[in-house]
Structure formats: structure tokens, C-alpha cells
Amino acid sequence: MTVPSVSRYRPLGHEDGVDSENLNAQAGQMLCAPTKSEKTTFMRSANVTLLGDNVIQAEVAIRHSKAAGGIFRAIAQPDVQWKLQQLQDLGNHIARASKLLFEADLRIFGQCHSDQFTQESGELVLSASKAVRTEICAARNAIVLPRRK
């Protein structure tokens, strides 16, 4: 699984009337997910505002059929700041969990079509489940609480 790269950087203070003088001369960046055009409907998007290596604001929107209005939005509280490294760790753990699931699915799919389900197949499912659970727990621990200095 590949992680999408950030395609646009907009300096903080050049949109929505934010005064760049009040940023204590630290370089902030607005990271935006790549889009083809403004009219393109999105399946997911994330906006992250950085001040140095601190995340000062984050918003994630995901199209979800069970959410009100069809879109689930999550916004990080402004009083909670994460380090950029925490978000990178979170993404790495989720990418590893996705890769583990994909590889286990391929192996199980191969066994399914060859009618070779055995006790080893069950052990494969259990070991893949444990590995994915470990990665998801590590991802949660990386992001649940902001790290203290």
C-alpha cells in the first residue's frame, strides 16, 4: 500500500485573513491532499496545519454511507497539539496493518481456490489477526495522547 504524497503547500497566513505576523516568525504550512479539480468529488481528504513541527489543526473527511449527510468529518481540537512524528508513526503503523491484511488475504484466497483448508489455514488467520491487532494498538498509542516534552 502506498501512502499518497502531499502535492500542494500553502504557507499559513495567506488564506482566510490569517495574520502571518502573529506566528512568531515560525514557518507554518497547510498540507492538502492532491485533487484533480475543485469539482471532483472526494472519497477522503485531510487538511493539516503545521507550525514548525507541531500540528496545530487537522481535519479529516471521509465519505461514509452511514454518516449523517454521507460524509464523516473529524477535527482535532486546537488545544491538543501533536508532533508531526506522531502522525508519521500513525501512518506507518496503519500502512503495515493494511499490508499484513492484504498479504493474508492473498494467501487465504489461494488456499480457498485449491481447497487446502487445514489447521495451518486457521493458524494463518490467527497470526495475521494478532499482527494486525498489534499494529493497530501501536497506531492508537502513537496518536491517543500528545507526547510530553
The DSSP result for 35-60, as a single string, is -S-TT---SEEEEEEEETTEEEEEEE
Q: Are residues 85 and 122 in the same domain?
A: yes
Beta partners for residue 121, in sequence order: none
Q: Are residues 74 and 13 in the same domain?
A: yes
Q: Are residues 85 and 145 in the same domain?
A: yes
Residue ending a domain, choose from 28, 55, 79: 79
Residue type, 25: A
What is the value of pTM for the model shown?
0.57
Q: Are residues 19 and 66 in the same domain?
A: yes
Q: Are residues 100 and 52 in the same domain?
A: no
Coil, strand or helix at 11: strand
Q: Are residues 3 and 68 in the same domain?
A: yes
Coil, strand or helix at 90: helix
Residue ending a domain, choose from 62, 79, 96: 79
pLDDT at 22 over 60: no
Summarize the confidence of residues 107-126 as an average pLDDT.
79
pLDDT at 130 over 90: yes
Give the H or E element holding residue 29. Answer: strand 28-32
The total of structural domains in the chain comes to 2
pLDDT at 39 over 70: no
By residue range, what is the domain housing residue 141?
81-149
Count of beta carbons in the 10 Å neighbourhood of residue 50: 20
Q: Are residues 65 and 120 in the same domain?
A: no
Q: Which comes out higher in pLDDT, residue 145 or 81? A: 81
Taken in order 30, 33, 37, 39, is the CA torsion positive or negative? Answer: negative
User: What is the distance between the alpha carbons of residues 16 and 95, in angstroms, rounded to a whole number?
Assistant: 33
Summarize the confidence of residues 22-38 as an average pLDDT.
44
